[in-house]
Every structure is written in C-alpha cells, then in structure tokens.
Amino acid sequence: MSAIAHTDANPADAPPAEGTHHRGLITLCVMGASVMQALDMTIANVALPHIQGSISSTQEQMSWVLTSYIVATAIMTPFSGWLAGRIGRRRLFLLSVMGFSISSMLCGIAQSLPEIVIARALQGITGAALVPMSQAVLLDINPPERHGRAMSVWAMGIMVGPIIGPALGGWLTEYYSWRWVFFINVPVGILAWLGIAAFMPETRKVKSRFDFFGFAMLSLAIGALQLMLDRGQTLDWFASTETWITFGLALLAGYLFIVHLATTDKPPFISLALFADRNFLTGSFFILLVGMVLFATLALLPPLLQDLMGYPVLYTGLITAPRGIGTLVAMILLNRLMGLIDTRYLVAFGFALTAVSLWIMTGFYLQMPSDLVIWSGVLQGFGTGFVFLPLSTLSFATLAPRLRNEGAAMFSLIRNIGSSIGIAIVVALLTRNTQILHARLGERVTPFADGLAGLDAGSVAAAGDLAGVNAEVTRQAAMMAYNNNFHLMLVLTLCAIPLVVLLRPATAGPKDTNAVME
C-alpha cells in the first residue's frame, strides 16, 4: 500500500471538493458501513457464554472468536491502501461491504468452533478496509476547515459502535438468538452497499508495485504473536514446544520485516515517512494503548457480570451501554473545546478520567450494586471519547496529505493490534490468576477458620456443602483476578499521561515529506 504514497495519482490527493454534491449521503453510507464493522468487535461479547454452550467450547477457546476477527482485520488493514489505489476506493468499499455481509451470515449459521472462528476471520479480512477508508473519504470530501468536524463524525462512529455493541448483542441474544448478533449485519450491509453504489464517486486507479514480502513478514509476525498469546495459557507457555515455535516465528518475521523496511531500495510496505512525523509516531503509541484498555475492558465485563454475578444477558448489555452516553457527551463537548483549549490537554484529561474509571473498577466486588458498573462505564466512555477524537486530530495534524491513505490504514492497524494483544493478555491473566488465587484462598479454608469452626469435614462433604465452599472460593478468586486486570490497565493508562507532551500542537501544518520519501 505504501506505493500509493510514492505516486502522484494518490487517491488521497483528490481535491476536497470530490463528492461534495452528495457529501451528507456519502458520509452516512460510509459511516454506516464503518460502524457495522466496528460494532462487530464487541457485539459478540455478551453472547459469548451462549455461543460457548451452543458449540461446546471452553472460555479460553471462546476468546478466539474475538481475536480471530481482530487479528484478521489487523493483518489486512494496511493492504487496503494499496487496493484503494489499484481498483478504486468505491469498488473496494462495495466489495468489502458485500464480503462482510456474506461472512456475517456464515457466522450466524456456524455449528462448531472452527466454523465460527474461520467465519469471524473472513469478517475481519473483508471488513478491514472499511474503517481506514471511511476516514480517508471524510477527509477528502471536506475542505481543511471542516476536517475537525469530519473527524468528530468519524470518531463518534468508530467509538460508539464498539460501546453500544454489548447492549445490542444482549437484546438480540435475549429475545431472538445469539445468531442474530451476526445476522443483523446483513440488512445494514445491503443498505450501505446500495448507498455507496449510488452516491460515492470513483477515485483514480493507480498501477503500483506492492511490497508482498513486507506484507507477508508483518502478517506472519502478527499471526504468530497472537497464536502464542491465545494458546500460551493452555500450553503452559514456554513449557510447550508450540509456544517456542510461534514465539520464534514472531521474532524472526518481525526482524526480517524491520530489516527489509530499512534496507529496501524500492517503495516498502510501510513508508518510513509516516514514522518520521513525531505526532503520528506518538499518536500510534497512544492508539495502541487505547485499543488495549478499551477493548480488553469490554471483553472482561460480560463474563464478569454474567458468570460471576448472575446477570441476564439483556441486563448485562443494558448496564454496559451507558458508557456510550459518556462518549457521545464527550464528542459534543469536544466540538466546542478543540478550538479553545490545547488539544494535548484534552488528551491528558481524557487519560486521567479513564484512569479514574479503572481505579473504580479495581474495587468491584460480588455484592456490588449495578450502579457502580454504570457510572464507572459512563466515566470511562467520557474519558475515552476525550482521548480518541483529539488524538486522531493530532496524529494527522502534521502529516502530509499524500500519506493520508497510508496513515489512516496504519492508525487502524495499530489500534487493532493493541485490541488483540490486550484481549489475549487479560484472558490469559484471568485464567492464571484465578488458579493461583484459588490455591491461596483454599489454604485458609480449614475447620479452624472463621465461619467454619466446629464443622466436621466429613459431614460437610457428605452434605455436599464442601462443593459449595469450593464454588464460593472459585468465585472470590475470579473476582480478585478481574480486579488485578483492571489494576494493570490503570497502571498502563497512568504511564501514558506524561507522554502527551511529546505531541505537537494541532495548529502545526503538515510538513513537506518529499525529502524523506525520496
């Protein structure tokens, strides 16, 4: 895709007036397709326990349903920039929406774990272009003075989609079936396809070389790393030969990719000019962190509320949905504040609010009222909204227009990598820490412990009460393991706040990167 950045006929160089005759309709159509794709990162979360029972899988195996989609999206996202130049952005949108709708139907009719994992991977492959290309489209059809508002619309769709996913997924699962979590994409995809076919103009096509070696090495590195993270806990990590193999593949492919990027005399898969821009480089680190914290939290909450606290699937969706209200309020306020306050302060404020919400979540307990979940979610949604929109604006504020397509794809790639790594890590830590904490708590369960004094172990076991005690120890250990995960994300968020000073003010214009690119 980086070849686009090295050609004069880059679709990103299209004049802002392109498509202005139907600017509103184009925005509605591309955002509808993008929200559909972003929504599927979390809509299946609350339905996972029902899917797990339907296809007879373990909780660790069910994490593949989430990560297969995110990893496939991450691998294919950079490819979308090259495809946009090769076949045209409009045709790419139409093929992506069609493929995403068909793969969603395949997810809905899946009867086994391999079937649904493969179908989810196809969803990620076909839908990878929707989010980055929607960002590039909105930047192209709006003049520079409207870019802030355009990015506000884009960020609102990308952020609100994953946040309302649990509520919508819970409602569909409760009143219909978990299969409708995927079937719902079909009518939305049809409407988006018809709108894009009717109103979006085609961009100029560019016949350019694609760096397939760089793409292959990056894909292998990401895939091997994710496979190691997903299966590491089951295989006891580096006690397994498979873990060593996947770890070695990830390191080797990553090394070859970096060496190739730095030494090739032809246009590389990822243009070095992107990372010569300090704002984009720093913003990429921040968006990696946002992906880890936001999506890992959304992956943890449904099993916590349903499995440990016994909430119905619909109620789980309803009490996690208000975080979307926080994000919407943040977006509304940011439309007024971004021109008045240094955007870097807004990013720091957003990280601080996210840290406060995570601090509240470290105090979750099994008998807590649902209000605690609701208000911590609203606060986290508000804080994440304050991070995402200003961060998107700052990351592209000093980036040359010719790098816009590539930058949008890379920005989404890094966010997806953060999401997949974050989910894999917290699921592995949850399983491991639950076992460790169960052993520690179990050591204290004796006939001489408070509350158990005077009980005869034989009579307790005969009455079946010992199984009840063990079940309660397991619940308490799991709750503590969830709290430890929230504490880890709190520390990561706090560490990011001082690094905001590395960003340049949004008033700085795009610099000339011709020398760098040559």
Distance of alpha carbon 99 from alpha carbon 11, whole angstroms: 23
Whether 6 shows a pLDDT value over 80: the answer reads: no
Q: Which of 206-220, 311-325, 478-492 has the highest mean pLDDT?
A: 478-492
Task: Using the predicted structure, report yes or no on whether residue 111 has a pLDDT greater than 70.
Answer: yes
The model's confidence at residue 490, banded by pLDDT at 50, 70 and 90, is: very high
Cα–Cα distance measured from residue 41 to residue 124, given in angstroms and rounded to the nearest whole number: 9
Domains, in order of start, for the chain: 2-211+266-437+473-517 (1.20.1250.20), 212-264 (no CATH)
Listed in sequence order, the residues at least 6 apart from 289 whose beta carbon sits closer than 8 Å to its beta carbon are 418, 492, 493, 496
Give the alpha-carbon dihedral of 169, 171, 176, 179, to 10 degrees: 0
Q: Tell me, what's the pLDDT at 5?
A: 35
Place of tokens 């076991």: 461
Name the residue type at position 37: Q
Q: What is the pLDDT of residue 42?
A: 67
What percent of the chain stands above pLDDT 70? 84
Question: Which element (helix H / strand E) includes 202?
Answer: none
pLDDT band, very low/low/confident/very high, at 164 (cuts 50, 70, 90): confident
Task: Give the separation between CA 227 and CA 75, rounded to whole angstroms.
Answer: 13
- The separation between the first and the last C-alpha atoms of the chain, rounded to the nearest angstrom, is 16
Q: Are residues 267 and 3 in contact, defined by beta-carbon separation less than 8 angstroms?
A: yes
The dihedral formed by the CA atoms of 360, 364, 368 and 372, expressed in degrees to the nearest 10:
30
Model confidence at 93: pLDDT above 50: yes
Query: What's the mean pLDDT in 183-204?
Result: 83
Cα-Cα-Cα-Cα dihedral sign, residues 318, 323, 326, 327:
negative
Of 334, 389, 348, 506, the residue nearest 151 (C-alpha): 389
Beta-carbon count within 10 A of 309 CB: 18
Mean pLDDT to the nearest integer, 58-85: 76
Contact 242, 191 (CB under 8 A): no
Spatial separation of the C-alpha atoms in residues 291 and 302, rounded to whole Å? 18
pLDDT, position 512: 39
Most confident segment among 106-110, 207-211, 400-404: 106-110
Residue 163 — pLDDT band, cuts 50, 70, 90?
A: low
Q: At 211, is the secondary structure helix, strand, or coil? A: coil
Q: Is the pLDDT of residue 179 over 70?
A: yes
Give the H or E element holding residue 247: helix 241-263
> Which residue in 517, 263, 285 sits closest to 399, CA to CA?
517
The encoded tokens of residue 396 equal 């592209």
pLDDT digits (tens, 9 = 90+) for 220-262: 888 888 788 777 777 778 888 888 999 999 999 999 988 888 8
- Three-state SS for 195? helix
Confidence of residue 508 (pLDDT cuts 50, 70, 90): very low
Choose the weakest-confidence range: 94-103, 179-188, 253-262, 502-511. Answer: 502-511
487 pLDDT more than 90 = yes
**What's the confidence (pLDDT) of residue 197?**
82
Confidence of residue 452 (pLDDT cuts 50, 70, 90): low
Q: Is the pLDDT of residue 40 over 80?
A: no
In the block, tokens 């050591």 appear at 443
Is residue 353 over pLDDT 90?
yes
User: 140 versus 359: which is more confidently predicted?
Assistant: 359
Q: What is the mean pLDDT of residues 476-497?
A: 92
Mean pLDDT score, 485-511: 79
Angstrom distance (rounded) from CA 485 to CA 428: 10
Q: Is the pLDDT of residue 509 over 50?
A: no
pTM for the whole structure: 0.72
- As a whole number of Å, the CA-based R_g of the chain is 24
Given this model, what pLDDT does residue 416 score? 76
The H or E element that residue 453 is part of is none
Q: What's the token pair of residue 304? A: 């916590």
Binned at pLDDT 50, 70 and 90, residue 355 comes out as very high
User: pLDDT value at position 479?
Assistant: 92
419 touches 292 (CB < 8 A)? yes
Question: Does residue 313 carry a pLDDT above 90?
Answer: no
pLDDT score, position 224: 87
- Quick one: what percent of the chain has pLDDT higher than 90? 13
Mean pLDDT taken over the chain: 79
Tokens encoding 189: 């995809």
Q: Write phi, then psi, for 452 (nearest 5 degrees).
A: -115, 0
Q: What is the predicted pLDDT for the residue at 510? A: 45
C-alpha span between 106 and 291 (Å, rounded)? 27
Give the mean model confidence (pLDDT) for residues 508-516. Answer: 39
